[in-house]
Amino acid sequence: DAGVTQSPTHLIKTRGQHVTLRCSPISGHKSVSWYQQVLGQGPQFIFQYYEKEERGRGNFPDRFSARQFPNYSSELNVNALLLGDSALYLCASSWYREANEKLFFGSGTQLSVL
């Protein structure tokens, strides 16, 4: 079975541009979470979606948005890119949104903003 897949794996953008990152969860998983991991730090929670609805949002500006589709895949959008948005963006999926659930992570999208 395929794990969590993310695309693209690497991306280079310039300041002010817009980016869309994509995530396909494990088949049957209904919850998708997005995390930002800056080099040398732990992941920071951005969003959680469950059954196509936003169920949690971290402390990120409105430039960050996301959505979940009927097939449970998800997109993360970032507008007006800043140099500080350079990071590894991780997607995780799980069956539901319970506290003790295993989160299965993709390998991430490495975003570089120049």
Partner 1 sequence: GEDVEQSLFLSVREGDSSVINCTYTDSSSTYLYWYKQEPGAGLQLLTYIFSNMDMKQDQRLTVLLNKKDKHLSLRIADTQTGDSAIYFCAESAASNYQLIWGAGTKLIIKP
Residues that bind partner 1 (CB under 8 A): 3-4, 33, 40-45, 48, 56, 58, 90, 92, 97-100, 102-108
Phi, psi (degrees; rounded to nearest 5) at 43: -65, 150
Nearer to partner 1, 41 or 70 (CB): 41
Nearer to partner 1, 69 or 96 (CB): 96
Minimum distance from CB of 69 to partner 1 (Å)? 21
Nearer to partner 1, 94 or 113 (CB): 94
30 and 47 in contact (C-beta within 8 Å)?
no
Minimum distance from CB of 99 to partner 1 (Å)? 5
Q: Tokens 């589709």 sit at which residue? A: 69
56 and 114 in contact (C-beta within 8 Å)?
no
Minimum distance from CB of 34 to partner 1 (Å)? 11
Nearer to partner 1, 76 or 106 (CB): 106
Minimum distance from CB of 85 to partner 1 (Å)? 18
